[in-house]
Structures are given as structure tokens and as C-alpha cells.
Amino acid sequence: MEVKKHTIKLVVNNRPDVLARIAGIFSGRGFNIESISANITLDPNVTKIRIVTMGDSSTVSKIQNQLKKLVDVQSVSHIRESKHGRREMIMMQVNLTDENRRDVMKAIDEFQCKIVTKKVDHCIIEATGNEDDIEQLIKRFEPMGIEDFSRSGVVAL
């Protein structure tokens, strides 16, 4: 079976143990969570969770079925691959030197990054895009000296 990336979206009741139980279903099958993002919705009792995992379709369906059986899980759906609908944010700290300054600023323009803070020796930038865009951005900045970065995980509607 072909192993590929799957995004699963859950709507759950906002209870302390629900995330632990969800994560337990993935780890119980030896499935790693590649990225997760969760946040409250307009209704403070309801949380939306998006999980990206790698696996074959048959195992992913089994996991979906197990998730559906959990108390406090209202719905489980599999997000179709649509690059438009799957966005991510990255924050990145890039070192600034006399040598790389011009090139860093050029790359910031190219990728339409936002500068969050700028100091003499480094800057913190942010950018959004689909997963490919974010990978390309990391590749572009890597040779210039990425000090640190943080990705949000996939956000999708």
C-alpha cells in the first residue's frame, strides 16, 4: 500500500483529556503525528484539530474509525489534497551579516515575507503558503543561515 501524507480534521468537545486520547490512537498503531494544530472555534466548547500523518490509506481509515468512536469527538473527516485550502505559517530567525544582508532582503521580497522584528545582526520573518511553498522558503534561506524556525502545522477549512 502506498504510504503518503494524510490530513485528518476533527471537531471535538473542548475537554482536558480529549487530545491525549486522540494522540493515543495514533501512537497505539505506531503512527507518528507529523504536525498538529488545534484551536478553539467561535463556540468555546468546541475545538478543531488538524493532524497530518504519514501512512497507507487502509490504516488511515482504520484510525479514522477508531477516532469516531471516542467520546467527545463530534466528527472526523479526511481533508482532500487541495493545495489552495491547506496553508501553513512559518516564523524564522535569520542571521544578518554584511555578506548576506542584501541576499536576505532579496529573498524576503521574493517570498513576500513579513518582517516581524529586525535587529542589526538578525531578523525574524514570517510567511504563509502551502507546504511546498514553505519547503522552498526553507531551502532558499538555509544557505544564508537560519538560526531557528517554527512552523504552525497545516491549517485548512
Does 48 engage in binding with a copy of itself (CB under 8 A)?
Answer: yes
Our CB check for a copy of itself shows the closer of 87 and 101 to be 87
Does 17 engage in binding with a copy of itself (CB under 8 A)?
Answer: yes
Q: Which amino acid is at 32?
A: N
Which part of the chain contacts a copy of itself (CB under 8 A), choosing from 56-64, 66-74, 88-96, 98-106?
A: 88-96
Contact yes or no for 59/25 (Cβ under 8 A): no
Closest among 102, 107, 156, 97 to 127, alpha carbons compared: 107
Scan residues 113-142 and list those touching a copy of itself (CB under 8 A). Answer: 114, 116-117, 124, 126, 128, 138, 142
Indicate the DSSP class of residue 20: H
Does 87 engage in binding with a copy of itself (CB under 8 A)?
Answer: yes
Name the one residue in this structure whose C-alpha cell is 468537545: 13
Dihedral (Cα; 54, 25, 41, 149), 10-degree rounding: -50
Does 39 engage in binding with a copy of itself (CB under 8 A)?
Answer: yes
Cα angle, residue 69 at apex, residues 63 and 75 outer, rounded to 5°: 85
Residues forming contacts to a copy of itself in the complex (CB under 8 A) are 14-17, 19-20, 22-24, 26-27, 30-42, 48, 50, 84-85, 87-93, 114, 116-117, 124, 126, 128, 138, 142, 146, 148-153, 155-157
